Protein backbone atom coordinates (compact mmCIF):
# COMPACT_ATOMS: atom_id res chain seq x y z
CA UNK A 1 0.00 0.00 0.00
CA UNK A 2 1.33 3.46 -0.83
CA UNK A 3 1.78 5.90 2.07
CA UNK A 4 -1.40 7.94 2.53
CA UNK A 5 0.35 11.22 3.31
CA UNK A 6 -0.55 14.49 1.62
CA UNK A 7 0.62 18.03 2.27
CA UNK A 8 -1.45 21.13 1.62
CA UNK A 9 -1.17 24.81 2.41
CA UNK A 10 -4.43 26.29 3.62
CA UNK A 11 -7.00 26.65 6.34
CA UNK A 12 -8.02 23.48 8.12
CA UNK A 13 -11.54 24.71 8.89
CA UNK A 14 -12.40 24.57 5.17
CA UNK A 15 -11.71 20.86 4.67
CA UNK A 16 -14.57 18.49 3.85
CA UNK A 17 -12.98 15.32 5.22
CA UNK A 18 -14.20 12.67 7.65
CA UNK A 19 -12.27 14.40 10.46
CA UNK A 20 -9.93 17.27 11.12
CA UNK A 21 -7.86 17.61 14.27
CA UNK A 22 -8.14 20.65 16.52
CA UNK A 23 -5.11 22.10 18.30
CA UNK A 24 -7.00 22.42 21.59
CA UNK A 25 -6.03 23.01 25.20
CA UNK A 26 -6.73 20.58 28.05
CA UNK A 27 -9.80 22.53 29.15
CA UNK A 28 -11.19 22.66 25.60
CA UNK A 29 -11.56 26.38 26.27
CA UNK A 30 -12.01 28.63 23.24
CA UNK A 31 -8.66 29.75 21.85
CA UNK A 32 -7.07 31.35 18.82
CA UNK A 33 -5.31 29.80 15.82
CA UNK A 34 -6.80 26.49 14.68
CA UNK A 35 -9.25 26.34 17.57
CA UNK A 36 -10.64 29.81 16.91
CA UNK A 37 -11.00 29.08 13.20
CA UNK A 38 -12.79 25.77 13.79
CA UNK A 39 -15.15 27.30 16.34
CA UNK A 40 -16.02 30.09 13.93
CA UNK A 41 -16.70 27.60 11.12
CA UNK A 42 -18.60 25.07 13.27
CA UNK A 43 -20.80 27.62 15.03
CA UNK A 44 -21.97 27.85 18.66
CA UNK A 45 -22.99 24.19 18.94
CA UNK A 46 -19.30 23.24 19.00
CA UNK A 47 -18.66 25.33 22.09
CA UNK A 48 -21.79 23.89 23.73
CA UNK A 49 -20.48 20.38 23.01
CA UNK A 50 -16.94 21.02 24.23
CA UNK A 51 -18.19 22.47 27.54
CA UNK A 52 -19.38 19.00 28.55
CA UNK A 53 -16.09 17.12 27.99
CA UNK A 54 -13.01 18.54 29.81
CA UNK A 55 -10.50 18.26 31.23
CA UNK A 56 -8.63 16.02 28.83
CA UNK A 57 -5.12 14.65 29.29
CA UNK A 58 -2.23 15.89 27.19
CA UNK A 59 -2.22 13.73 24.05
CA UNK A 60 -5.74 12.41 24.61
CA UNK A 61 -8.21 12.69 21.71
CA UNK A 62 -11.93 13.40 22.03
CA UNK A 63 -14.45 13.83 19.24
CA UNK A 64 -17.38 16.09 18.38
CA UNK A 65 -19.38 16.60 15.23
CA UNK A 66 -18.18 19.30 12.82
CA UNK A 67 -21.59 21.00 13.12
CA UNK A 68 -21.73 23.87 10.57
CA UNK A 69 -18.13 23.30 9.37
CA UNK A 70 -17.52 21.15 6.27
CA UNK A 71 -15.77 18.23 7.99
CA UNK A 72 -17.95 15.48 9.49
CA UNK A 73 -16.10 15.35 12.82
CA UNK A 74 -13.55 17.32 14.80
CA UNK A 75 -11.04 15.41 16.91
CA UNK A 76 -9.74 17.60 19.72
CA UNK A 77 -6.32 16.99 21.23
CA UNK A 78 -4.01 19.06 23.43
CA UNK A 79 -0.25 19.17 22.77
CA UNK A 80 2.27 19.76 25.54
CA UNK A 81 3.41 23.37 25.95
CA UNK A 82 7.00 23.57 24.70
CA UNK A 83 8.18 25.94 27.48
CA UNK A 84 6.66 23.93 30.36
CA UNK A 85 8.96 22.48 33.00
CA UNK A 86 9.84 18.82 32.71
CA UNK A 87 11.90 16.39 30.70
CA UNK A 88 11.94 16.84 26.95
CA UNK A 89 11.30 13.11 26.44
CA UNK A 90 7.93 13.38 28.17
CA UNK A 91 6.96 16.31 25.98
CA UNK A 92 7.99 14.48 22.82
CA UNK A 93 5.93 11.48 23.92
CA UNK A 94 2.98 13.79 24.62
CA UNK A 95 3.09 15.37 21.17
CA UNK A 96 3.45 11.96 19.50
CA UNK A 97 0.45 10.75 21.49
CA UNK A 98 -1.69 13.57 20.06
CA UNK A 99 -1.16 12.18 16.56
CA UNK A 100 -1.46 8.53 17.56
CA UNK A 101 -4.62 8.91 19.62
CA UNK A 102 -6.25 11.00 16.88
CA UNK A 103 -5.51 8.30 14.29
CA UNK A 104 -6.72 5.64 16.70
CA UNK A 105 -9.97 7.57 17.16
CA UNK A 106 -10.37 7.91 13.38
CA UNK A 107 -9.69 4.20 12.88
CA UNK A 108 -12.18 3.22 15.57
CA UNK A 109 -14.87 5.12 13.65
CA UNK A 110 -13.89 3.68 10.27
CA UNK A 111 -12.85 7.06 8.88
CA UNK A 112 -10.97 7.16 5.58
CA UNK A 113 -9.60 10.72 5.78
CA UNK A 114 -8.14 12.97 8.45
CA UNK A 115 -6.27 16.28 8.44
CA UNK A 116 -3.80 17.53 11.02
CA UNK A 117 -2.58 21.07 11.61
CA UNK A 118 1.02 21.49 12.78
CA UNK A 119 0.03 20.74 16.38
CA UNK A 120 1.88 22.66 19.06
CA UNK A 121 3.73 25.02 16.73
CA UNK A 122 1.59 28.14 17.29
CA UNK A 123 0.67 29.35 20.76
CA UNK A 124 2.44 26.33 22.30
CA UNK A 125 5.66 27.34 20.51
CA UNK A 126 7.25 24.03 19.50
CA UNK A 127 10.18 24.36 17.06
CA UNK A 128 8.59 23.61 13.71
CA UNK A 129 11.11 21.14 12.28
CA UNK A 130 11.33 19.19 15.51
CA UNK A 131 7.53 18.96 15.81
CA UNK A 132 7.25 17.86 12.17
CA UNK A 133 9.61 14.93 12.70
CA UNK A 134 7.58 13.79 15.70
CA UNK A 135 4.33 14.15 13.74
CA UNK A 136 5.49 12.04 10.81
CA UNK A 137 7.00 9.29 12.96
CA UNK A 138 3.90 9.10 15.17
CA UNK A 139 1.52 8.93 12.19
CA UNK A 140 3.58 6.21 10.54
CA UNK A 141 3.49 4.16 13.71
CA UNK A 142 -0.24 4.66 14.29
CA UNK A 143 -1.08 3.82 10.68
CA UNK A 144 -0.05 0.23 11.24
CA UNK A 145 -3.27 -0.14 13.27
CA UNK A 146 -5.44 1.92 10.91
CA UNK A 147 -5.69 0.00 7.64
CA UNK A 148 -8.83 1.82 6.44
CA UNK A 149 -7.30 5.29 6.64
CA UNK A 150 -6.62 6.27 3.04
CA UNK A 151 -5.71 9.94 3.46
CA UNK A 152 -3.67 11.73 6.11
CA UNK A 153 -3.45 15.40 5.19
CA UNK A 154 -0.86 17.63 6.84
CA UNK A 155 -2.59 20.99 6.59
CA UNK A 156 0.15 23.60 6.79
CA UNK A 157 -0.68 27.24 7.34
CA UNK A 158 2.35 28.51 5.45
CA UNK A 159 4.49 27.44 2.53
CA UNK A 160 7.47 27.35 4.94
CA UNK A 161 5.72 24.65 6.99
CA UNK A 162 4.82 22.72 3.84
CA UNK A 163 8.49 22.69 2.85
CA UNK A 164 9.45 21.27 6.24
CA UNK A 165 6.90 18.47 5.74
CA UNK A 166 7.98 17.82 2.14
CA UNK A 167 11.58 17.49 3.30
CA UNK A 168 10.51 15.28 6.22
CA UNK A 169 8.36 12.97 4.15
CA UNK A 170 10.71 12.70 1.20
CA UNK A 171 9.58 9.84 -1.04
CA UNK A 172 6.67 8.87 1.18
CA UNK A 173 4.18 11.30 -0.37
CA UNK A 174 1.23 10.13 -2.44
N1 LIG B 1 -5.58 26.27 9.57
C2 LIG B 1 -4.42 25.55 9.62
N3 LIG B 1 -3.38 25.86 10.42
C4 LIG B 1 -3.51 26.95 11.21
C5 LIG B 1 -4.67 27.76 11.22
C6 LIG B 1 -5.74 27.39 10.35
N7 LIG B 1 -6.87 28.09 10.30
N8 LIG B 1 -4.48 28.77 12.11
C9 LIG B 1 -3.24 28.60 12.65
N10 LIG B 1 -2.65 27.51 12.10
P11 LIG B 1 -2.19 26.90 17.30
P12 LIG B 1 -1.00 25.14 19.37
C13 LIG B 1 -1.33 26.91 12.40
O14 LIG B 1 -1.76 28.12 18.01
O15 LIG B 1 0.35 25.69 19.15
C16 LIG B 1 -5.05 27.63 21.00
O17 LIG B 1 -5.51 28.90 21.18
C18 LIG B 1 -0.35 27.76 13.16
O19 LIG B 1 0.39 28.59 12.27
O20 LIG B 1 -3.56 26.86 16.72
O21 LIG B 1 -1.16 23.65 19.51
C22 LIG B 1 -5.68 26.54 21.85
O23 LIG B 1 -6.84 26.96 22.50
C24 LIG B 1 0.51 26.72 13.83
O25 LIG B 1 1.50 26.25 12.92
O26 LIG B 1 -2.08 25.58 18.24
C27 LIG B 1 -4.58 26.17 22.81
O28 LIG B 1 -4.68 26.89 24.04
C29 LIG B 1 -0.45 25.55 14.09
O30 LIG B 1 -1.59 25.81 13.26
C31 LIG B 1 -3.32 26.54 22.12
O32 LIG B 1 -3.65 27.61 21.27
C33 LIG B 1 -0.89 25.37 15.53
O34 LIG B 1 -1.11 26.64 16.13
C35 LIG B 1 -2.76 25.43 21.27
O36 LIG B 1 -1.55 25.83 20.68
Q: What is the CATH number of the domain that holds 155?
A: 3.40.220.10
Cα separation, 129 vs 134, in Å, equals 9
Q: Is 135 in the pocket of ligand 1 (CB under 6 A)?
A: no
pLDDT tens-digit series, residues 28-86:
999 999 999 999 999 999 999 999 999 999 999 999 999 999 999 999 999 999 999 99
R_g over Cα of the chain: 15
- Range of 142's domain? 5-169
Report residue 111: phi and psi, to 5°. Answer: -70, 150
Cβ neighbourhood burial of 25 (10 Å; 0-12, 13-18, 19+)? buried
User: Is the C-beta atom of 54 inside 6 A of ligand 1?
Assistant: no
Residue 174 placed within a domain: no
What's the number of domains the chain is made of? 1
Beta-strand pair 19-24/5-9: unpaired
- Ligand 1 centre distance from Cα of residue 25 (Å): 10
Residue 40 Cβ < 6 Å to ligand 1: no
Predicted confidence (pLDDT) per residue in 103-114, tens digit = 999 999 999 999
pTM: 0.98
Amino acid sequence: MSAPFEIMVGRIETLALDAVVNAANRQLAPGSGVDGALRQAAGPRLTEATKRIPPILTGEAVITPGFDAPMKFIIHTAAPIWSDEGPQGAKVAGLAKCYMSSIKMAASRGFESIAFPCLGTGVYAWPRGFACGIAIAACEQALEQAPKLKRIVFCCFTEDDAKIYRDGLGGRLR
